[in-house]
Amino acid sequence: MSTVIVSGGAGFLGRHLCEILLKKDMEVLCIDNFISGSKNNVREFISYPNFELIRHDIINPLFLEANKIYHLACPASPVQYQNNAIKTVKTNVIGTINMLGLAKRTKARILLTSTSEIYGNPIVHPQVEEYYGNVNPIGIRSCYDEGKRIAETLTMDYHRMNKVDVKIVRIFNTYGPYMAVDDGRVVSNFIIQALSGKDLTVYGDGNQTRSFCYVTDLINGLMKMMEKEDFIGPVNLGNPEEYTILELAQKILKLTKSTSKIIYKPIPKDDPVRRCPDISLAQKRLGWQPQVGLEEGLNKTIAFFKTKL
């Protein structure tokens, strides 16, 4: 039986990944400090004989044995990662060093979940993996953007210097059940506001774009990447269908049958104007592309949040 470590395993993505790994009869070691993850997300797995939940902050060394490591640990929404910017940087830098050191010692394959945020406010559209990005190194988002960029640097240096078996995935906006109610990302914000009868808050004029990937598609892509031989990445994983924020708000109002209104507030500093992945590489090397359309995914996510509220 393979032993798989999932750092950040009690978070939104981690929870879905742990579920699929358990269904594949893997031994899963779920590591989380519960700063942005929740014990409730994985409570149903605690009785499983091949699941272990370990409360641990990865900025401290970790001494475990594993065959594979999915390194997901890091607050991922602006509200969460800006709440303690220095902690976010430490997680991305010191935490990644510790996870790479663990992979080096155990000869495990490690997959780093990086982010579309490494492209910053892009001047290349759609974003391809060869694009180096346009990132503000001293802005309010820099703790996450630059933190993930250095995490990629560390991953490649451990590979080049220590022959660590590594993978790098750049995740674009992902949504679905088990997002936190106070997550702060646009999909969960809009759904919660619509279901609660509150105004939907659009920042700027709403014409900035995003692409939204349903969580099961993303997890499928992560697992394909982990199993792929002779391909390190980085590789974009996301849904290339592009929507304006205003279109998303209108769609959620329609699907929830909400009478809420849309209000506009000033756009936050360094908020990207356009964000959309080029997934040609994932299609070619992994045979991967999203299967769940936005409306289908939103309906499943709305149903989940109805139970939470």
Condensed to tens digits (0 to 9), the pLDDT of residues 88-138 reads 999 999 999 999 999 999 999 999 999 999 999 899 989 999 999 999 999
For CA atoms 113, 116, 119, 121, give the dihedral sign.
negative
Annotated catalytic residue: which of 144, 158, 175, 214? 144
The percentage of residues in the chain with a pLDDT greater than 70, rounded to a whole number, is 99
User: 241 Cβ partners below 8 Å, 6+ apart?
Assistant: 211, 212, 293, 294
Average pLDDT in the 254-282 region?
88
Distance of CA 3 to the CA centre of its chain: 22
In whole angstroms, what is the distance from residue 30 CA to residue 35 CA?
Answer: 14
Q: Among 68, 54, 49, which residue's Cα sits nearest to residue 3?
A: 68
Walk me through the domains of the chain, giving residue ranges and CATH numbers: 3-178+214-240+276-291 (3.40.50.720)
Report the predicted TM-score, pTM, of the whole model to 2 decimal places. Answer: 0.94
**CA angle, 33 then 178 then 223, to 5°:** 80
How high is the pLDDT of residue 128? 97
Confidence of residue 280 (pLDDT cuts 50, 70, 90): very high
Condensed to tens digits (0 to 9), the pLDDT of residues 146-195 reads 999 999 999 999 999 999 999 999 999 999 999 988 887 899 999 999 99
Q: Is residue 226 scored above 80 in pLDDT?
A: yes
**Active-site residue, 119 included:** no
Q: Is residue 1 scored above 80 in pLDDT?
A: no
Q: Is residue 297 scored above 90 in pLDDT?
A: yes
Confidence of residue 271 (pLDDT cuts 50, 70, 90): confident
How high is the pLDDT of residue 42? 96
How high is the pLDDT of residue 191? 95
User: 120 Cβ partners below 8 Å, 6+ apart?
Assistant: 133, 134, 135, 136, 145, 270, 272
